[in-house]
C-alpha cells in the first residue's frame, strides 16, 4: 500500500477500471456482513457488468474487519478501507467515492435497509441517460413515529430555505454517474452533508420508489442527538436563512419596543402616572436576553462550521487498505 504525503492512498492505475462500484460504509456490522454479501453478490453477478465492492470499515469496535477480510479471500474484488477511528457515515461515503473506480457508483447500507434488488432498476434508469438516480422511500418500516415525524419536519424546513431542494425521503442509496462523482470528489467542503451535496451538483436526476425495510440485525447507529446534529449540518450548510432570520426578528422586536416606549411616555405625559413598571421591565429584559442568546447560538452554529472548514484537517485517516494496489474487479 502506498500513501501520498497528505495521508491519502495513491491509486494505481488512475481512471476507471470497471462498470460499477458498490460502496458500503460499515460500523459494527459484523452480524450483517454474511447476509449482505449473500444477497448482493448474486444480484451483481446477474448484471453482466464488471464491478468492485468497496467496504469502508468506519472504526468498528467489533469484528467487522475480520469478517470482511474473510470474504475478501475468495472475492478479491471486495476492497476494504479501514479507518483509524469512527468518522461517521458521511465521511465514510466520501472516502468510498474518492477511491471508487467504476463508471457508476452505488452507495448502499450494509444492514440491507436499501434492498440490493433495486440495483437493477437504478441501472436501467442510468442507461436512459440519467446521471443521478435516487431511491425514494415509500414507506419506512421499522422506524419510530418520532423519527418519521422529525424526518418530515426536517424536509419541510430545509426545502423552504435551501437554495437546492433535497428530494424528500431519499437516503444515500442511489446511483451516481462517474462525472457526478468526479465533481463530488473535487468539492473541498469538510462538513459533509451528502444528501445536500448530491442535490446541489445538479445534472440529470430522477427517482424511483421502494419500500424501506427494517434493519436486518443490530440497531441503528444514529442516536437522537446524532440525528439532530445531522439535521443542523444540513440546514446550516445549505442555507444562510438561519443567519438572516434573526435580523428580521430583531427589526420586529425593536419596532414593537419603540411603540411600547411611545405608549409609556404618553401615559406619563398625559396622565402623569408613575407606573411601578417592574413587570414590564422584567419581561422586556428576559425576553430580549433570551432572544440574544438564541441568535448568538445560531451564529455559533455557523461559526463552528466555518471553523471546521478553515482548520483544513484531513477528512479521514486510513489506517489500512486492502485491494487498491491491483484494482481487481469482477
Interface ranges with Mg ion (CB under 5 A): 109, 111, 113, 215
Cis amide prior to 300 (ω within 30 degrees): no
| C-alpha to C-alpha distance for 56 and 27, rounded to whole angstroms | 8
234 sits near ligand UDP (criterion: CB under 6 A): no
State yes or no: residue 190 binds ligand UDP (CB under 6 A).
no
The residue among 16 and 213 lying less far from ligand UDP, judged by its C-beta, is 213
Residue 39 binds: one of ligand UDP, Mg ion, none (C-beta under 5 to 8 A by kind): none
Distance CA 133, CA 140 (A): 19
Does position 26 interact with ligand UDP (CB under 6 A)? The reply is yes
Q: Is 73 helix (H, G, I), strand (E, B) or coil?
A: helix
Instruction: Report the relative pairing of strands 18-26 and 102-107 from DSSP bridges.
Output: parallel
Scan residues 37-66 and list those touching ligand UDP (CB under 6 A).
58
- Quick one: which segment of 70-78, 197-205, 216-224, 233-241 binds ligand UDP (CB under 6 A)? 216-224
For residue 216, state whether it binds ligand UDP (rule: CB under 6 A).
no
> What is the residue whose three cell numbers read 451528502?
194
The yes or no reply on residue 67 touching ligand UDP (CB under 6 A) is no
Cell numbers describing residue 83: 479507518
Sheet holding 132-140, edge to edge: 205-212, 132-140, 170-177, 102-107, 18-26, 51-57, 78-83, 318-322
**Which burial class, exposed, middle or buried, applies to 216 when counting CB atoms under 10 A from its CB (0-12, 13-18, 19+)?**
middle
| CA–CA distance, 81 with 104 (Å, rounded to integer) | 19
For residue 169, state whether it binds ligand UDP (rule: CB under 6 A). Answer: no
220 contacts ligand UDP (rule: CB under 6 A)? yes
- Residue among 171 and 242 whose Cβ is closer to ligand UDP: 171
Pick 28 or 103: Cβ nearer ligand UDP: 28
Q: Which of 25, 167, 196, 323 binds ligand UDP (CB under 6 A)?
A: 25
Tell me which residues touch ligand UDP (CB under 6 A): 25-27, 29, 58, 86, 88-89, 92, 109-111, 113, 215, 220-222
Amino acid at each position: 500500500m502506498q500513501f501520498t504525503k497528505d495521508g491519502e492512498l495513491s491509486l494505481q492505475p488512475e481512471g476507471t477500471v470497471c462498470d460499477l462500484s458498490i460502496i458500503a460504509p460499515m460500523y459494527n456490522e459484523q452480524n450483517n456482513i454474511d447476509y449482505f454479501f449473500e444477497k448482493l453478490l448474486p444480484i451483481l453477478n446477474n448484471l453482466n457488468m464488471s464491478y468492485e465492492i468497496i467496504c469502508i470499515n468506519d472504526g468498528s469496535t467489533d469484528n467487522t474487519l475480520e469478517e470482511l477480510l474473510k470474504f475478501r479471500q475468495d472475492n478479491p474484488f471486495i476492497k476494504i478501507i479501514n479507518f483509524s477511528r469512527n468518522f461517521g457515515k458521511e465521511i465514510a461515503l466520501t472516502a468510498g467515492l474518492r477511491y471508487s473506480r467504476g463508471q457508476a457508483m452505488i452507495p448502499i447500507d450494509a444492514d440491507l435497509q436499501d434492498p440490493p434488488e433495486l440495483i437493477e432498476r437504478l441501472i436501467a434508469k442510468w442507461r436512459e441517460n440519467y446521471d443521478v438516480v435516487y431511491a425514494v422511500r415509500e414507506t419506512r418500516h421499522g422506524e419510530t413515529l418520532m423519527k418519521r415525524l422529525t424526518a418530515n419536519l426536517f424536509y419541510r424546513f430545509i426545502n423552504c430555505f435551501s437554495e437546492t431542494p433535497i428530494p424528500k425521503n431519499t437516503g444515500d442509496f442511489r446511483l451516481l454517474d462517474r462525472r457526478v462523482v468526479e465533481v463530488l470528489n473535487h468539492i473541498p467542503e469538510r462538513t459533509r452533508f451528502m444528501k445536500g451535496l448530491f442535490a446541489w451538483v445538479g445534472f440529470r436526476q430522477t427517482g424511483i420508489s421502494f419500500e424501506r425495510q427494517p434493519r436486518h440485525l443490530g440497531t441503528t447507529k444514529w442516536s437522537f442527538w446524532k440525528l439532530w446534529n445531522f439535521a443542523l449540518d444540513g440546514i446550516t450548510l445549505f442555507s444562510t436563512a438561519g443567519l438572516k432570520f434573526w435580523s428580521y426578528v430583531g427589526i420586529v422586536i425593536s419596532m414593537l419596543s419603540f411603540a411600547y416606549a411611545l405608549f409609556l411616555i404618553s401615559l406619563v405625559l398625559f396622565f402623569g402616572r408613575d407606573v411601578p413598571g417592574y413587570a414590564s421591565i422584567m419581561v422586556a429584559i428576559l425576553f430580549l436576553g433570551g432572544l440574544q442568546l438564541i441568535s448568538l447560538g445560531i451564529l455559533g452554529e455557523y461559526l463552528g462550521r466555518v471553523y471546521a472548514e478553515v482548520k483544513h484537517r484531513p477528512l479521514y485517516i486510513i489506517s489500512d487498505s486492502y485491494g487498491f494496489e491491483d484494482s481487481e474487479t469482477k
